[in-house]
Amino acid sequence: MAQATLTPHGEKVETFRLLSGHLIPAVGLGTWKSETPRESVCNALVQAGYRHVDTAAQYGVQKEVGAGIKEAIHAGIDRKTLFVTSKLWCTELSPERVRPALLNTLGELQLDYLDLYLIHWPFRLRDGATRPPKAGDVLDFDMEGVWKEMEKLVKENLVRDIGVCNFTMKKLNKLLSFAEIKPSVCQMEMHPGWRNDKMLEACKKNGIHVTAYSPLGSQDQGRDLIHDPMVERVAMKLNKSPGQVLVRWAIQRGTSTIPKSNHHERIRENIHVFEWEIPERDFQALCTISDQKRVLDGEELFVNKTDGPFRSTADVWDHED
């Protein structure tokens, strides 16, 4: 269960404890496709009481995110109270590339350590890989070699925790078979339209915390959960917004979550989820939304129907869905 702490502004913000003993704030700001990363990050930290920011080298916004964090620190936010996550992109998934990639990320963010460094996707791509990948774009991934390099980053205090994204149970079991430092966090797509109960259970069983990404159903070609009738009904009943109901649903499942918005009023709204709960009956009703389907299925990034090695999204997800 999430534990409550107070932000410097006196707002009650819950946190979850990781295997390492460190705390992860239950709500963070997502930055993928952020059009206003510097302002959004700074406002989220200084005015809305966020202490957790999620970014990635691949998002192309790390410099602006770093500038936003720097501004917030100048405004009086203590770095030690922040939880900053970034991710190792697929082209860097070979042992000799891990450390330089992390140092580049720290440089862009203007930080001397990360709170959490994640493997972004468990597939190695050739430099210059296209979408969809051509033959030879998806390379062999030395998971053990890469993880050992991630572990070294923890030992050197360059990152406090390490973890993974977009893993299957098969890949998680493989990682756990050799990990000296277990992954603290598994970041996965999760929302009422894609609960992914099996993976959540597998992580819980191993003490691995889950961060739910795309909690609102993502953007552009995503799933419109904001206007889902069940979500709207619960929001109306509780006098909350659909966005708040979706964020609260994630927290009540025991996951932290990282909604993204370009709009300050929505950023504020999305973290005001700690002074109330979704009643059990409504929570369970949200767990019955049919048409369970991933938004981010990896097809565009990794599937090559003729040349493989992944010929379908089922291959990408190890036929576990």
Residues 295-314 binding ligand NDP (CB under 6 A) are: 296
> How far is the C-alpha of 218 from the C-alpha of 32, rounded, in Å?
10
Q: CB 226 → ligand NDP: shortest distance, Å?
A: 5
Distance CA 128, CA 44 (A): 34
Which residues, at least 6 apart from 81, have a Cβ–Cβ distance to it below 8 Å? 8, 51
Four-residue CA torsion sign, 164, 169, 174, 176: positive
Single-letter residue type at 152:
K
Q: At its nearest, how many Å lie between ligand NDP and the CB of residue 306?
A: 26
Should residue 7 be labelled a site residue for ligand NDP when binding is judged by CB under 6 A?
Answer: no
Among 2-10, 149-157, 260-268, 273-281, the segment contacting ligand NDP (CB under 6 A): 260-268
Element holding 37 (H helix, E strand): helix 37-46
| Residue 59 appears among annotated catalytic residues | yes
Nearest Cα to Cα of residue 266 among 108, 71, 43: 43
Map residues 48-77 to x or -, x wherever contact with ligand NDP holds by CB under 6 A. Answer: ------x-----------------------
**Residue list 19-38, contact with ligand NDP (CB under 6 A):** 30-32
Contact indicator for 105, 59 with CB cutoff of 8 Å: no
Name the segment binding ligand NDP (CB under 6 A); options: 94-102, 208-216, 279-287, 310-318: 208-216
Helix 169-178 with 197-205: angle, nearest 10 deg: 20
Tokens found for residue 275: 């002074």
Minimum CB–partner distance for residue 12 and ligand NDP (Å) = 20
Tell me: is residue 319 an annotated ligand-binding position.
Answer: no
Instruction: Compute the least distance from the CB of residue 55 to ligand NDP, in Å.
Output: 6
In this structure, which amino acid lies at residue 96? E
Interface pick for ligand NDP out of 129, 202, 216, 245 (rule CB under 6 A): 216
Residues that bind ligand NDP (CB under 6 A): 30-32, 54, 120, 165-166, 187, 213-219, 226, 241, 243, 258-263, 266, 269-270, 296
Extract the annotated binding site.
120
